[in-house]
Amino acid sequence: MNKAWALLRLASPQLPIGGYSYSQGLEMAVEQGLVSDQDSAQRWINDQLLLNLARFEAPLLLAHCTAAANADWLRLGELAGEHRASRETRELALESRQMGYSLKQLLDGLPELDTAARSLLQQHEPCLALAWALAARAWQISPSDALAAWLWGWLENQLAVLMKTLPLGQQAAQRLTSQLLPVLEQAQRQASELEPAHWGSAAFGLALASMAHERQYSRLFRS
């Protein structure tokens, strides 16, 4: 079987886990005027990738996928607990829980998930990183490719948010994609090389945007 099909399946927006219901604080950044055009959007996404995701979210997810691929269930459970504890706001915690629950429900109904992985999935609270790692294991996707799929999905979702909240058309979104793909590559490389002792970020702007978004009067996204 063509390995690209499994990777496309994991990264596809058709994966029914609700990712496009969330903006990761970007909707509030638009509301506050922090993001108002293509240039400011590029700065926001660039900073999120290199100052936040590459320093913590991405290496943590990669560790999940590596532990799942190696059937290191004890380590995987510890990482899932660390991921849940790291959610800085109520919205971000609910996002991980809801998307993790949806992916868990999907995996439960598929034959590819082996018995040990299925048992672990049932033992833990819903968590997107845990479910993503087990989906990669079930579909025989390497940890590095699973991380690439996750980063691509994150970027694609951010661009979709911009097209809904800014006067940003599809051509402008594609130009942004061309500008940001090298940054995406850099984020993946940094995440792959970062030692666990150095994991961590202090994304205060994201946390503040997420908390303010909970009280935003009119909004399109859940976070």
Written as one string, the DSSP assignment of 138-176 is: HTT--HHHHHHHHHHHHHHHHHHHHHHHSS--HHHHHHH
Fill in the DSSP letter of residue 17. S
The 10s digit of each residue's pLDDT in 8-51 is 888 887 777 766 677 888 888 888 899 999 999 999 999 999 99
Q: Which residue has the tokens 């909970």?
A: 214
Please write the tens of the pLDDT for every residue from 34-45.
999 999 999 999
In the block, tokens 């948010």 appear at 161
Least confident of 53-67, 104-118, 141-155: 104-118
Average pLDDT over residues 87-96: 85
C-alpha to C-alpha distance for 60 and 82, rounded to whole angstroms: 9
CA distance 72 to 61: 14
pLDDT digits (tens, 9 = 90+) for 165-213: 888 888 989 999 999 999 999 999 999 999 999 998 877 778 787 777 7
Q: Which domains does the chain have, with CATH numbers?
A: 41-214 (1.10.4190.10)
- Who's near 72: CB < 8 A, 6+ residues apart? 66
**What local confidence, expressed as pLDDT, does residue 80 receive?**
93
